Amino acid sequence: MSELHLTDEILMAFADGELDEPVAAAVARVMAQDPAVARKIVEFQQSRRLTRSVFASNLTPDVPSELRAAISAQIEAYEAASAAGEKRQPVEAKSLWARGAFPIQMALAASLAAVAVTAGYLIGQQSQPVAGRLAQLEDPRVLRELSRLESGREAELPVGRLRVISTYRLPDQSLCREFRLQSTSTATGAVACRTDEWTVTFALAEPAKGAEYVPSSGGDLVESYLGNLDAGNPLEGEAEVKALAESVR
């Protein structure tokens, strides 16, 4: 097979031992005759060795004791729960790390004052009446945008700036979207789900963004919520466009 076109990818796969036998044998024959091919293969072997050395040198075995302790605690909690035959524990008190502590504690403290809404919860500061906040989230203009705005896009609305974050299909086939509504005084992260119309099922109000804002934890709570719904991976690109188009039909 003298006509075998030896791309860089094929030579690399040969160097990595990833080629199937007939092709590998053909490459070996060419390599024996063509020094340029042989050199390329050697270079691919070299780059692999170099990379491995760098990664080996980055492997610091001393996992910080806080991280190790936090994960051991998680493991114990899950293993105890499964030994007791319970359903999986709600993923709640996360981030035992000090770094993420501020927003999560705010949120958990506030959740004592959580108010159940139709199908879900509104958790957050009580600086504004809960019903008012919910009304903003379920403003017809917000709901209309939820049916057409792709994830990652924004819309300026009279009730604030809407940003859609992601879209999920639940096992029961309903469509859910995570979004944020930012008004001058507050930012609210929320999830709305739809069977015939959009309903806000979860909302988490955050204090107006300060300089010390830590982004991960507010998201963690929304993430836990979505995880408990078995939301799976978000729909992206065409899958999302299609799902949105179908939902308004």
Partner 1 sequence: MATAIGQELVALLPRLRRFALVLCRSQPLADDLVQGACERALAKANSWTPGTRFDAWMFRILRNHWIDHLRRMKAEGMMEDVESQTHLIGDPGEEPIMNRLALAEVQRAIDSLPQEQREVLALVCGEDLTYREAAEVLNIPVGTIMSRLARARKRLVEVTAAA
- Note whether 56 binds partner 1 by CB under 8 A: yes
- Closest Cα partner for 166 from 189, 144, 183, 182? 189
Let me know the angle formed at the C-alpha of 176 by 170 and 178, rounded to the nearest 5 degrees. 130
> CA-CA distance, 171 to 41, in Å (whole number)?
48
> How many secondary structure helices (H) and strands (E) does the chain include?
9, 7
- Note whether 6 binds partner 1 by CB under 8 A: no
Tell the smallest beta-carbon distance from residue 51 to partner 1 (Å).
Answer: 4
Pattern 73-112, binding to partner 1, x per CB under 8 A?
A: -xx--xx--x-----x--x--xxxx-xx------------
- Closest Cα partner for 172 from 238, 119, 136? 119
- Note whether 183 binds partner 1 by CB under 8 A: no
- Note whether 18 binds partner 1 by CB under 8 A: yes
- Note whether 150 binds partner 1 by CB under 8 A: no
- Note whether 67 binds partner 1 by CB under 8 A: yes
Q: 182-187: long-range contacts at Cβ-Cβ below 8 A with a sequence spacing of 24 or more? A: 183/136, 183/159, 184/160, 185/127, 185/128, 186/124, 186/125, 186/127, 186/128, 186/133
CB 68 within 8 A of CB 169: no
Q: Which stretch binds partner 1 (CB under 8 A): 10-18, 28-36, 121-129, 196-204?
A: 10-18
How many residues touch partner 1 (CB under 8 A)?
Answer: 59
Kindly list the residues in this chain that would bind partner 1 in the complex (CB under 8 A): 8-9, 12-13, 16, 18, 43-44, 46-48, 50-61, 63-64, 67-68, 70-72, 74-75, 78-79, 82, 88, 91, 94-97, 99-100, 151-152, 163, 165-166, 180, 213, 215-216, 219-220, 222-223, 227, 233-234
